[in-house]
Structure 1
Amino acid sequence: MTQETDMKYWLSLIFALALTTGGAVAQATEHKSKPPTKISFTDELPTSGNLVLGVYENSTSGRFADVINDNSDTGLSYAIKAAKFKGKKMTTQVITAPKGSGYDQILLVGLGKNDNSNTTLDWQNIGGNAVQAAIKAFKSAPTMAFDTPKDITANIAYGAKLGSYYFDKYYTDAKRHKHQPSITIVTADAKAASDFYQAELDPVANAVWYTRDVSNEPANIIYPQSFVAYWQELFDDMDNIKITVFDEKDMLKKGMGAIYGVGQGSKRPPRMMIVEYRGGDKGEAPVMLVGKGITFDTGGISIKGSDNMWNMKFDMSGAASTIGSIYALAGRGAKVNAIGIAALAENMPGGNAQRPGDVVTSMSGKTIQIRSTDAEGRLVLADAVYYGDVTYNPALLVDLATLTGSAARALGKDYGALFTRHEELTNDFVEMGKKTGDQVWPLPLNDNHFKAIENEVADVMNSGPTAPGASAGAAFIGAFVRESTPWVHLDIAGVGWNSKATPMKASPGSTSFGVQLMNGYIKKHFEK
């Protein structure tokens, strides 16, 4: 370090220590969360205002287009041709509504070819893109009309709901607000589309919405205990749910030295939240999801640089997606047993924080030398996956974690990294990722990675091996899962948040990565 850099480092460390060892905890202004957008269906076109209209490629006709044409003496067909709108998938264009139609403006939304070539994900993206284009053009999402079958219409609605998500609750200027309280969709078979949507898709959309909300909140609002309270309130009126919460005293009694050690440097103590959903047969082995929940990560004594530390509020994305996935299953009434564990801690450099070189004992009995306090996610997961594995004997154990920069650098914003000892699971996860948009890509995990984490002082070390960082991190977690248990590790460090908009995520921030993937995977492979 240069003298100037050295001074900046120590000043930042002193400042961080001051925040954690004295004074009142900073609190943000109270802001009530906005409820998810509500979707309603009708078979009647509105008679005035603005309208969003789905148009197939190279077509000016359709159930609703024909009604507008009749009212405007074929004015709509003429306007579409004059605008040279071809209806290609994911294209949009605003036109002045023809005289006699009763509307002011019409947003044309391209549906692509009417030949069943669109995937379910395509239809969802079309819905999200349509809403975002409407908000941009009209400052709101007017009624949307689509002449499509019920299941397609329902998936357009699903995309529209997620595409309308904006984390704008802290804006004091009302002009910046883009949240849509409701969206109406016109379709021929409104009841059938609504029934399908409400049963299968809206519960998942709500889970994604709440997962994004809790992840986007600042760390002075969401910390281990408030994370627990947030989800407890949401699960309160759901059937077949049991919630257990371990506090720091429970962790000490159970010998959970790994997660306790991470949280001991913060004034906000660690928590482990276990949510059991019992929708399957009694005694049937559950699917288990375990999520890394570092509600803020300073790096601890191995403190991070300050440039991008602000986004370490997203280091609990794995825990948010884990509990969000259980919320989706419970909302659908899925015929499966599933358990979610959120391993929650705030990694701070307080006076009681653990140090590099310390040795802790995990619940499994294995000892861990702390090489870096900034490799804390694998520590909280060590106790969580072990507890879940030996307590519930799961049919499948999946952990989700924003674990390593190595995975993010390898795969960027396109894929989550998948690691497993059970290669037969890989293809199914990859395929489901393609269908849901939560795409994953396999990275290697072998005996050398497990050997690399062995330590001369303790059984294993949490950082510092010569093996690739992402693989070593996966091996560390795998060391606390029985080899007989089917296990998948998803490193979502590169995909847990994104500053860019997508058709189904207009707001920068949380991607809720994993909720749609796990909902789809469990539905296909475990539900009856």
Structure 2
Amino acid sequence: MKKLITICLLWLVSAQTFALPKVEFTAVNLADHKRIVVFIKDTQSLTGIAAQINQESSGQLLAAIANSDASTKFGDTQIFYGIAPFTQVSVIGQGDEPLTQASLQALGGYAIASIPANLQEQAAIVTDALNTKVETPEAWLALGAALRDYHFDKYKTPSARTLPSDLLIQSNDINAAKAKYDKDLKHMAEGIYLARDLASEPGKTMYPESFVSQVKKAFKGVKNIDIDVLKVRDMRKRNMGALLGVGQGSVHDPRLLVISYVGAGKKAPIALVGKGITFDTGGISLKQNKGMWAMKSDMAGAAAVAGTLLAVAKRGEQINLVGVMPLAENMPSGDAIRPGDVLTTMQGTTIEIISTDAEGRLILADAVRYAQKEFKPSLLLNIATLTGSAVRALSDEYAAVVTRDWQLTEQMMAIGKSSGENVWPLPLHPNHFDQIKSDIADIKNSGAGNPGASIGAAVVATFIDKDLPWVHLDIAGVDWLDADIAIAPKGSQGWGVRFMDQLVRESLKSDE
């Protein structure tokens, strides 16, 4: 019976895939399109197609702008109806600064947010007046529109679900824009959709085995991919006591999912390691009920790693990339680990458990050691919804970044700015390692004092070779938002896919 239930749940979790909006790049025919989005940099005069709209409406558009609160402030949106012969004209400010990849994505999100859902017609987005030096800006704008168009409503009745939008994006270079989107940025959107899908699933249907199943389905037919799944017996052979310990309180056994993409021969890969706690009750150190439902997304780091691998592999980058995703459900039970227990890791380092709710660093300990031993990476990045401390320090504006050298930190901050997923540094001080010394084991999983995010990073750092470039991302404040933002509806953000994808792009540039 248990096997039958598992099979049914695996079918349910993979029964629906979420389609991206339909995107077409071509010229806008004002006779055919009556719902149009334009971007302005001046409220007094219009240029290009926006000027044509004003002319065809006998000056109604400029008059409407003058009689409204419309401004050129970035993202400011005014929607005008009944400007004959147009049904709807959305006017969005593009700001005073030249538009970057990140701001173009945001404008795409604002554009699609101004268009009614389940529209039974194609809406047109006009891009001829964009102030930018970015190549194929229409494609980046389309990416932002796709990201905002995401909906997780598979558990709603069919009549309450939202259909993917149908967009025409005006382009002066149709072939270049189409190639950039279809062969590159569309795959990034698919990776982010995958990450959001995984993190949005209820804990009942998203557990280690079903996570593996859904990811395998997403990678079916993708070239140069190898997928390996370590089960309990494999972990025992490798003495992965930390990962096994966290998962032993659940009826769902832990897994270690490893995805390798080979696009550059025998060159050392970049390793991405993502925390995959499919549901976090806190274990014996039980969390309060308030907000515990959101712990279904405590595997957002692993989900982002899977999404990044999908994006990079589908566009066929000439790089080697490996994703390591330790997966476990942290539950209280008669078999669960207790505060005061000691776990032995793959590295041989022993960890005293102070709190079973500081479990993410435990599964990362075995995962980062495995990644180093098996793949000998040139750089290792781990990403996790690790600490409330990072949320209190940085809110939902930044993810926390910790490295061992400032130059690498600066590189990560630049990558964050380019990608649109910003990071801010937190320290890693020798005292943080003193705080995790244990009286009965090598280290403990939680230290005294307030720098919780740095303490979590110090635990992970204990398992990272000191000469290996290492980046620690704590995304606890940014992975799940309670309100819409430009490029995402509220809920799971798929945070980290854009950041790690940009890391890959920058690595390829440095190799040229």
The match for 1:512 among 494, 507, 510 is: 494
Q: Give me the whole-angstrom Cα distance separating, in 1, the residues matched to 2:182 and 2:72.
A: 29
For structure 1, the 5+ residue unaligned runs are 1-20
Quote the offset at 1:442 in angstroms.
1.0
Match of 1:298 in 2: 281
Separation in 2, partners of 1:69, 1:404? 52
> Superposed, which structure 2 residues align to 1:150-169 within 5 Å?
151-169=136-154
Aligned 8 A contact 1:54 1:109 in 2: yes
Distance change (3 Å), C-alpha of 1:283 and 1:138: closer
**Distance in 1 between residues matched to 2:109 and 2:120, nearest whole Å:** 15
- The equivalent of 2:387 in structure 1 is 404
1:161 corresponds to which letter in structure 2? A
Instruction: Give the equivalent residue in structure 1 for 2:291.
Output: 308
> Relative to structure 2, which stretch is displaced further, 392-401 or 85-94?
85-94
**Aligned counterparts of 1:224 and 1:92: Cα–Cα separation in 2:** 42
Partner of 1:370: 353
Residue 190 of structure 2: aligned partner: 206
State whether structure 2 residue 201 is matched by structure 1 residue 217. Answer: yes
* Alignment equivalent of 1:352, drawn from 325, 335, 338: 335
Contact 2:20 2:149 in 1 (8 A): no
CA distance in 1, matches of 2:449, 2:61: 66
Separation (CA, whole Å) in 2 of partners of 1:56 and 1:128? 16
| CA-CA distance at 1:500 after TM superposition | 1.3
2:76 aligned to which of 63, 88, 91: 91
- Spell out, residue by residue over 1:388-420, the C-alpha distance to the aligned partner (whole angstroms, 9 max, x if none): 012211111010011111111111111111112
Alpha-carbon shift at residue 457 of structure 1 (Å): 1.2
Output one character per residue of 1:263-292: Cα deviation in whole Å (capped at 9) or x when no partner. 111111000011111112x22111111011
Q: Within the alignment, does 1:42 sit opposite 2:23 as a pair? A: no
Counterpart for residue 246 of structure 2: 262
Question: 1:367, 1:459 within 8 Å by CA — same for their partners in 2?
Answer: yes
C-alpha separation in 2, matches of 1:356 and 1:74: 72
Output the TM-score relative to the length of structure 2: 0.91
1:450 aligned partner, one-letter code? F
Task: Find the partner of 2:104 among 123, 134, 150.
Answer: 123
1:275 matched to which residue of 2? 259
SS at match of 1:388: helix
Aligned to 1:488: 471
Conservation of the 8 A alpha-carbon contact between 2:304 and 2:495: yes
**Is it true that 1:132 corresponds to 2:89 in the alignment?**
no
How much does 1:181 deviate? 4.4
Deviation readout 1:151-172 (Å, 9 max, x if unpaired): 2211111111111112222222
Assess if the C-alpha contact under 8 Å between 1:54 and 1:111 holds in 2. no
Partner of 1:524: 506
Give secondary structure in 2 for the equivalent of 1:135.
Answer: coil
State the distance in 1 between where 2:308 and 2:474 align.
16
Q: Could you say which residue in structure 1 is the equivalent of 2:301?
A: 318
- Equivalent residue for 2:35? 51
Counterpart secondary structure, 2:298: helix
Query: 1:478 and 2:423 equivalent?
Result: no
Q: Which residue of 2 aligns with 1:231?
A: 215
- CA distance in 2: counterparts of 1:241 and 1:28, whole angstroms: 22
Helix, strand or coil at the partner of 1:143:
strand
Q: Give me the whole-angstrom Cα distance separating, in 2, the residues matched to 1:75 and 1:244.
A: 61
Q: Tell me how far apart the structure 2 counterparts of residues 235 and 142 of structure 1 sit (CA, whole Å).
A: 32
SS in 2 for 1:106: strand
Please identify, of 438-447 and 143-152, the stretch whose mean Cα deviation from structure 2 is larger. Answer: 143-152
Q: Which residue does the alignment assign to 2:451?
A: 468
Structure 1 counterpart of 2:141, one-letter code: I
CA distance in 1 between counterparts of 2:479 and 2:39 reads: 34
Amino acid at match of 1:228: V
Moved more, 264-273 or 406-415: 406-415
Structure 1 residue 462: deviation in Å? 1.2
Q: Secondary structure at the match of 1:381?
A: helix
Q: Is the 8 A contact 1:449 1:467 kept in 2?
A: no
Give the equivalent residue in structure 2 for 1:193. 177
Which position in structure 2 is the counterpart of 1:65?
50
Question: 1:109 and 2:108 equivalent?
Answer: no
Superimposed CA distance per residue, residues 229-259 of structure 1 (whole angstroms, 9 cap, x where no aligned partner):
1111111111111111001111111111110
- Tell me if the contact between 2:352 and 2:441 (Cα under 8 Å) persists in the aligned partners: yes
Partners in 2 of 1:84 and 1:310 — Cα distance? 40
**5+ long unaligned stretches in structure 2:** none
3-state secondary structure, aligned to 1:183: strand
Contact 2:124–2:169 (CA<8 Å) still a contact in 1?
yes
CA distance in 2, matches of 1:496, 1:184: 30
Q: Whole-Å Cα distance in 2 between the matches of residues 358 and 84 of structure 1?
A: 62
